[in-house]
Amino acid sequence: MSRVKDINLYKSGEQKILWVKKNMPLMNYIEKDFEKTKPFDGLNVAISIHIEAKTAYMARVLQAGGAKVTASGCNPLSTQDDVAAALLHGGIDTFAIHGVSDDEYNKLIGETLDFSQPDIFLDDGGDLTEALHTEKRNLVSKIRGGSEETTTGVHRLRGKEARGELLFPMMSANDALCKHLFDNRYGTGQSVWDGIDRTTNLIVAGKKVVVAGYGWCGRGCAMRAKGLGADVIVCEVDAVKAIEAVMDGFDVMPMEKAAETGDIFVTVTGCRDVITKPHFEKMKDGAVMANAGHFDVEISKPDLRSLSEGESEIKPGITEYRLKNGKSLYLLAEGRLVNLAAGDGHPAEIMDMSFAIQMMSLKYVAENYKNMENRVYDVPREIDDYVSALKIKTMGKAIDSLTPEQIDYLSR
Ligand SMILES: NC(=O)c1ccc[n+]([C@@H]2O[C@H](COP(=O)([O-])OP(=O)(O)OC[C@H]3O[C@@H](n4cnc5c(N)ncnc54)[C@H](O)[C@@H]3O)[C@@H](O)[C@H]2O)c1
């Protein structure tokens, strides 16, 4: 029933999974614990996430906890076919193929849900959740709840909650401290530059890098660009974030102005139409653009096409748009998340923490769903405390504890 590109690709996928497993000590610990405690015993768990080595290992940890896991991608370009093959080869039903059309991608999500008949689920970006609210509504009565991985998915959930449309309880894993403080900032910060580097093989030092969005991810991308020697410009719509960027040492200006000077553009806002026609028209010949926000709508491809007399993939992951004004602009990874569509995503040690939060959040839903309402829940502070204490220990570090006198002093 599963659908992957070619199950014979499993060997290299398996090697990738083994490598990350060695570098995810929290997940190793949780896996051992789940083998004994089986928090998902008898439950069907559907996951929609970038199919790569770290998420594949996470699927296996869920399986160790007794879940019958069914996996699908959450982006048509981020699926790694060898990892999907390894998942299936290892006994996890998988519906994910790299490079499928948007229609086919949505079909794979639908097939995942039909096959899984999930009790709980994990989503990244909200497409699986959306399917459950539309064409797969028939599956909702069985659902205990789910957990959402990223900012864009949480925005979509909060929209549904505000409209009174949310059909089950959802945990906002993204908003846990041990998630966004590290994953969005340091994970995106490092992996975005890895994706850009391995695709373009161009120098960053001495270039003008424009980062649109100075949220958790944007801060990381700007910080790492600075570390690589770039002159960084930030574009924002929130004055508070803009002040922060200035005080962090970056120039701030509207995209209209930044477009004239930027060599490399990175969008990471979670919004749409951040770089559009008027900006493309002003850009320098040879400007490179990459997106790290969840959807491929931040850099307007329709606008790029309307200004172009031709487009072609001149190297894997680089599309050249030959504008009618004689200049060429280069878009990486078709404007999809550059770190995942043109790289391996966040470092294993970072996802170790994010997925520990996810495991504990799903366990929380599995155990507490009877007392939960159809709304978006923050991850309880105890889960953040548990994950951070475990992480600091696996890092070989220790911290101090408050004495009773100090606790008393602080509470007065
Ligand atoms: N690439 C990855 O691996 C990865 C990892 C985590 C999150 N994400 C995605 O990245 C996006 C940003 O996530 P975040 O956690 O940084 O969110 P955030 O809410 O912390 O930050 C977004 C920032 O963008 C700004 N912004 C919004 N619209 C804008 C516009 N039109 N122009 C300029 N700035 C604008 C907001 O003011 C905000 O400061 C989301 O889509 C999220 O899902 C990607």
Q: What is the pLDDT of residues 372-403, one digit of tens each?
A: 999 999 999 999 999 999 999 999 999 999 99
**d(CA 278, ligand 1 centre) in Å:** 22
Say what the pLDDT of residue 275 is. Answer: 98
Element (H, E) at 293: none
Query: Is ligand 1 within 6 A of the CB of residue 336?
Result: no
Distance CA 227, CA 278 (A): 30
Residue 235 Cβ inside 6 Å of ligand 1? The answer reads yes
Ligand 1 site-directed mutation target among 158, 180, 184, 336, most atoms within 8 Å of CB? 184
Q: Quote the pLDDT of residue 2.
A: 87
Its sign, for the CA torsion 171, 175, 181, 185, is positive
Position 119 scores a pLDDT of 98
CATH code linked to domain 7-179+346-394:
3.40.50.1480
* CATH 3.40.50.1480 domain range(s) in the chain: 7-179+346-394
Which residue among 269, 294, 299 has the greatest number of ligand 1 atoms within 8 angstroms of its CB, and so is best to mutate?
Answer: 269
- The two counts, helices (H) then strands (E), for the chain are 18, 15
Say how many Å lie between the CA of residue 48 and the centre of ligand 1: 20
- The residues of the chain scoring below 50 in pLDDT are none
Atom of ligand 1 nearest to the CA of 217: 16
Residues 18 and 14: their CA atoms lie apart, in Å, by 6
* CATH level 3 topology of 188-341: Rossmann fold (3.40.50)
Q: Are 263 and 196 in contact (CB under 8 A)?
A: no
Q: Does 275 sit in the ligand 1 pocket, CB within 6 Å?
A: no
**Cα–Cα separations (whole angstroms), residue 280 to 74, 213, 287, 288:** 29, 18, 9, 11
Q: How far apart are CA 54 and CA 56, in angstroms?
A: 5
Mean per-residue pLDDT over the chain, rounded: 97
Dig out the tokens for 52 from the structure.
């790569």
Distance CA(154)–CA(142), nearest Å, equals 22
pTM of model > 0.85? yes
Q: Do the beta carbons of residue 234 and residue 198 sit within 8 Å? A: no
**pLDDT given for residue 25 in this prediction:** 97
Share of the chain above pLDDT 90, in %: 100
Cβ 182 under 6 angstroms from ligand 1: no
**From 49, 221, 268, 344, mutation site for ligand 1 pocket: most ligand atoms within 8 A of C-beta:** 268
What is the model's pLDDT at position 1?
76
Residue intervals in the chain for CATH 3.40.50.720: 188-341
